[in-house]
Amino acid sequence: MNVPTCSRHFREFALTKYPTLQNRPAFLRLFHYICFSSFFDSSTGCLVIPTRRLAEEIHGVPYTTKFNGKAALEEFRDSVLHGLTWTDHSSTSPHGWNGTARTICDFGFDEKMEAELRKEWSNRSDDLVDFVSGRDYLRADRYADRAKVRAAYDSEIASLGLNATQAQILEHLRQVDGPSLIYRKLAANDDAVSAATAMLPTHVADMQNRILAAVRRDPNVYYYPSSNGRTCRLSARGDSILGLKKEVRRAATKGWVECDLRSSQFAILATKLQAPTALVLAESGESLWRELNAHITGHRKDPVGDVKAALKEFIYSLCFGKSQAKLKKFADQYGIRPLLDHPMIQELLAHRKAWFKQIKQDGGAADVWGTWHATSDDRWEGAVAGTVIQSVEMEIIAPIFEVAAKHGASDQFRICLFQHDGATISFNSAQKKARAQRKLKEAVEQRARALGVSTVLEFTDL
C-alpha cells in the first residue's frame, strides 16, 4: 500500500480545519482517499469507495461480513465531514471488484477546503510528509517506496502465464526507464498541461489534476493482462499518465511522438469476415471516418467533436462484439442512426452474424496464437470474437518492440508508453528519427500483410 503523502502545509491546514482527524489513523486515511483518489464512476462522476478497500486499507481490518462499511462512513461523517453523503452499496456495481462498493455523492467540503485541495493537486514542493503519521517523507523514501512497489509488480508479472508477445512487450517496457522519462517530461510540459486542463469543465479538470498529482508521486505505469484471460490486451492499472484525457496526456508528452495503427480494428474485422465492401475501403487507404461522416452528414471530410467520438465508439463496439440491438440503441442515442443503413455496415453486420453463429456452434474460437476461448453462460460469442480481434491487433503492433530492442540504442529512440494499437515514443536524434520511423513502419506493415490485414502505422508529433 502506498504511503498517503501530501505537502506539510496541506496536512497542517487539514488538521487545523478538521481537528477531529488528530490521532485517528483510519479517519486520516479516509480523508486522504477522499482528497486524492481518482477512482470515479465514469457514468455518475462520483468517487467510488469499495467496502473491501474501506476495511483493509483504511481501517486495517479483514474484509468480512463483520465489517460494517456504512457504520464506518457514518462515524467519519459525524466526526469530520458533516456534509458527506454516499449511495447504498451495490454488489452488482461495475466498481465493486471483489466485494461491494459505494459512491460518494458529496464530499462536504466548503469553498476554502476545495480551493486548498486544488492548490495541493498542483503542488510541486518536495517538503512532503506522511499524512497519517506526520513524518517527513524524503526523496529517498519516495525512491525506496517506488522500488518496493515496482519489485512487487515485477514479481506478480513473473508469476502470470503470459504469451510470448505479451512477455516481449512487458519486458521492453520494464527495461526502459519510464518513470524518470515521464517525470521529466511532465515537469518540462507543466505550462502546457496547465493550459490543457484549464480548457476543461471544472469537475473534469479536477479529475485530471487528481491523476496528475498521483503520477508526480509515482510515474510508473503498471501494465497488466486481463485477470480472467478474456482479452490479451495489456492495460494500465491504477493511476498513470495513460489515465489522462487525450488532450491532457498529449500536452504532458509534448515533444514525443505517438504512433498508431490506422483503423486497425475495422481492417481486422473486414479481413476476418472477408467482407468485400469493407475490404475494398481498407485496401484503398481512404479514411474510414470520412466515409462514414459523408454518409451521415453528406460532407466527405473528417468528423469532429461529438460526431467523431460517436463514430469511433460505434466502430469499436461493432468490432469488439457488441450486439446489434445495443449498436442500434447507441446509434439512436448519439444521433447517428443513418449509419446502420450504410451498405458497408449492413454487410459487416450480416457477415458478423454468420461468424458469431459459427463461434456458437464450435463452442468458441482460437485467437491469433492458437489459444482457445470458449463460450459460456456469461461469455457470448460476440465477446469471444472481440478477443480474437484484439489478439490480431496486438500481434500487428508487436514488431515495434522487436525494432526497439534491435535498433533503439543505435537510432536513439525509446518506447515510453504502450496504448493497445500504438505507442508513445521518445526520439532523441532528429537526424535518425526518420530512419527509425521507417524501420518501425516497415516492420509493422510487414506483419499486417502476413496476417492479411490492410492497415498502416502512422506517426503524430506531439
pLDDT per residue as tens digits for the range 110-157: 999 999 999 999 988 889 999 999 999 998 988 888 888 888 888 988
Whole-number Cα distances in Å, 9 to 6, 34, 129, 258: 8, 18, 9, 38
**DSSP string over 102-153:** EEEEE----HHHHHHHHHHHT---S-EEETTT--EE-HHHHHHHHHHHHHHH
The helix/strand/coil state of 195 is helix
- Indicate the pLDDT class of residue 99, thresholds 50, 70 and 90: low
CB atoms within 10 A of CB 227: 10
In angstroms, the CA 183 to CA 174 distance is 16
The alpha carbon of residue 325 and the mean position of all alpha carbons in its chain are separated, in whole angstroms, by 27
The helix/strand/coil state of 459 is strand
Taking residues 448-457, report their average pLDDT.
96
Cβ(324)–Cβ(349) under 8 Å?
yes
CB atoms within 10 A of CB 171: 13
Give pLDDT, residue 1: 60
In angstroms, the CA 88 to CA 359 distance is 40
Contacts of 35 (CB under 8 A, 6+ apart): 6, 117, 120
Short-list 222, 219, 225, 223, CA closest to 253? 219
Asked if the model's pLDDT at residue 359 lies above 90, the reply is yes
Cβ(415)–Cβ(425) under 8 Å?
yes
Which phi and psi (to 5°) does residue 176 adopt? -75, 140
The answer to whether the predicted template modeling score (pTM) of the entire model surpasses 0.95 is: no
In angstroms, the CA 351 to CA 363 distance is 18
- Indicate the pLDDT class of residue 262, thresholds 50, 70 and 90: very high
Which phi and psi (to 5°) does residue 79 adopt? -95, -30
Taking residues 232-246, report their average pLDDT.
92
Query: Which residue would you say has higher pLDDT here, 450 or 306?
Result: 450
Give pLDDT, residue 299: 85
Helix (H) or strand (E) holding 366: strand 364-366
Task: Name the grid cell of 5.
Answer: 503523502
Tens-place pLDDT, residues 29-69: 999 999 999 998 877 888 999 989 999 999 999 998 889 99
Tens-place pLDDT, residues 174-231: 888 778 899 999 999 999 999 999 999 999 999 999 999 999 988 989 999 887 777 8
Asked if the model's pLDDT at residue 95 lies above 50, the reply is no
- Indicate the pLDDT class of residue 460, thresholds 50, 70 and 90: very high
Task: Name the grid cell of 353.
Answer: 452474424
Give pLDDT, residue 91: 53
User: Residue 235: is it exposed, middle or buried by C-beta count within 10 angstroms (0-12/13-18/19+)?
Assistant: middle
The helix/strand/coil state of 443 is helix
Evaluated on CA atoms 183, 143, 223, 60, the torsion sign reads negative
Cβ(315)–Cβ(265) under 8 Å?
yes
Task: Name the grid cell of 240.
Answer: 498513470
